Homo-oligomer: A and B are copies of this chain.
Amino acid sequence: MKLTILFGGASFEHEISIVSAITIKEKLASFDLTFIFCDTDHSFYLIDTSKMKAKTFSSGEHKKMPQLTLEKGCFMQKGMFSKSEYKSVVLNLIHGADGEDGTVAALLDFYGVDYIGPRKDACTFSYDKRYTKYLCDAIGVKSVKYEVLHKNEAANIETPYPIIIKPSRLGSSIGVSIVKEESELDYALDVAFEFDSTVIVEPFLEGVKEYNLAGYYAQNKMHFSIVEEPHKEEFLDFEKKYMDFSRSEQVLSANIEEELTARLKSNFQRVYSGLFEGALIRCDFFVYNDEVLLNEINPIPGSMANYLFEDFIQAIESLSQSLPKREQIKTNYEYIHSISKAKGK
């Protein structure tokens, strides 16, 4: 099948997206793939598939490739006397800002381009960790207790140490610190506030178990990946997570009871339903004191969490055939006519 991989973006995770796209190229080698790169200045480039290497971008070589514009229903390459349309389902693989904050969703919706990826509201509730908490509270999914700090305001933290400090709106562990005692706090806050004007404080839960589960809705039902217990270190820093984005080898299922798997799936489905349709997402859960807690929603997981699926090709194919319909709104100017009459104009 034809599929366009849209990657890059004006985001702290720009480079991660490049790594993700290179990995996807391998995993979907049987597809007819088009690669469209969104540069940090929001120019779109058509990338020669044989040049899908990190160096193409770090060297700036991509800037010599054809520029595209987003038009109704397609990306367009305009020459002096010709136009070429690139028209296929888009896989939104822009991590972080642009891709996960709702911008790309809005652009593709506005221009009528079909895409795999989270829709606008889904982005709001997953991109900003505060809003993920709002969602959890509203739909009855448990999550870790939290406090919110604002830049340039006194930090009156009530959570006892050790704590985790996270910028509200970044993924990939950028700007995240574990703070064991008060003396380390100021530095951790400085780091986090480098990246965002609001910061989340959570207790650092000793002995927590971590489980990742991916899934999507297609052909009228949910499809789940295996459950993975990720390698446990204090937490993955940016470089380690970065390597993570290039993962392509299928992993083994976590050795857990069926009952826990069922609880993870049920929490996943509660988060997903009515909000994430059209996207393949990964939810990262904690299990602590026998409670399942949602830690994070990755609405565009690194390399689409391909390594969690037994048949990743089938997953992308069936999802691309089950995308939410865009509503067509027509206007007949009936109200303007009737108001004009009422006003005698």
Closest B residue to A18 by CB, please name it. Answer: B336
Which of A102-110, A252-260, A294-302 binds B? A102-110
Which of A129-137, A155-163, A228-236, A264-272 binds B? A129-137
Residues of B within 8 A of A15 (CB): 331, 333, 335-336
Q: Does A54 contact B (CB under 8 A)?
A: yes
The digit string for A304-345, where 1 denotes a CB below 8 A from any CB of B, is: 000000000000000000000001011101011111100000
Q: Is the CB of A131 within 8 A of B121?
A: yes
Write the nearest CB–CB distance from A172 to chain B, whole angstroms.
Answer: 10
Q: Is the CB of B121 within 8 A of A14?
A: no
Please, how many angstroms separate the alpha-carbon atoms of A125 and B130 in the complex?
Answer: 13
Write the nearest CB–CB distance from A25 to chain B, whole angstroms.
Answer: 15
Residues of B within 8 A of A80 (CB): none
Residues of B within 8 A of A150 (CB): 274
Q: Is the CB of A274 within 8 A of B198?
A: yes
Closest B residue to A111 by CB, please name it. Answer: B42
Task: Name the residue among A107, A128, A238 with the largest chain B CB count within 10 angstroms.
Answer: A107
Q: What are the 7 tightest A-B residue pairs by CB atom distance, in nearest-first order?
A: A106-B106, A58-B333, A124-B124, A134-B138, A103-B106, A54-B336, A10-B329
Question: Could you list 21 A-B pairs, sorted by A, with CB under 8 Å?
Answer: A11-B329, A14-B329, A15-B333, A18-B336, A40-B329, A40-B331, A42-B110, A42-B112, A54-B336, A54-B340, A102-B120, A102-B121, A102-B124, A103-B106, A103-B120, A106-B106, A124-B124, A134-B137, A238-B335, A239-B338, A239-B339
